[in-house]
Amino acid sequence: MATRPYSETLKEVLKDPKDVAEYLGVVLKEEDEAGFLVALRNIAEVRGMAEVAKLAGVGRESLYKTLSENGNPKLSTLVSVLHGIGIRLSFEPENDGHAAR
C-alpha cells in the first residue's frame, strides 16, 4: 500500500471550501492561537499567498508575518484573511443556547 506525504494530502483537501471550513473549525477547537494561524497559512499557501493577500487587502509580506506562529492579527485583519480564502466567520451556541452562569 503506497502512502502520500501529509503535506500532499493536506494541499488536496484544502482546495475544497467545505473541507477548509471543517479544518479551521477543528483547529480552533484546540484553542491554540499559533496553530490556528499556521492552519490559515497552510490554506493561504495552497490558494496562493499573493492572491489571498490581494483579496484580503493586505500586502503579501504582511500576510506572511500575520500568519506566522508569532502573528497577532487584529480581528479586522483576521476577517479579511478569511474572506481572502473564501471563508466566513460565524457563531453558534456552545451548549443548548443558554448562557453559562
For residues 68 and 53, which has the higher predicted lDDT (pLDDT)?
53
**DSSP 8-state symbol, 14:** T
Cell numbers describing residue 87 = 471563508
Among residues 26, 27, 41, which one has the least CA distance to residue 71? 41
Query: For the whole model, what pTM was predicted?
Result: 0.81
The pLDDT of residue 101: 58
Question: Are the CB atoms for 9 and 32 separated by under 8 Å?
Answer: no
The pLDDT of residue 99: 64
The b-or-e profile of 33-51 (16+ CB within 10 A means b, else e) is: eeebbbbbbbbbbbbebee
Question: Are the CB atoms for 44 and 28 separated by under 8 Å?
Answer: no
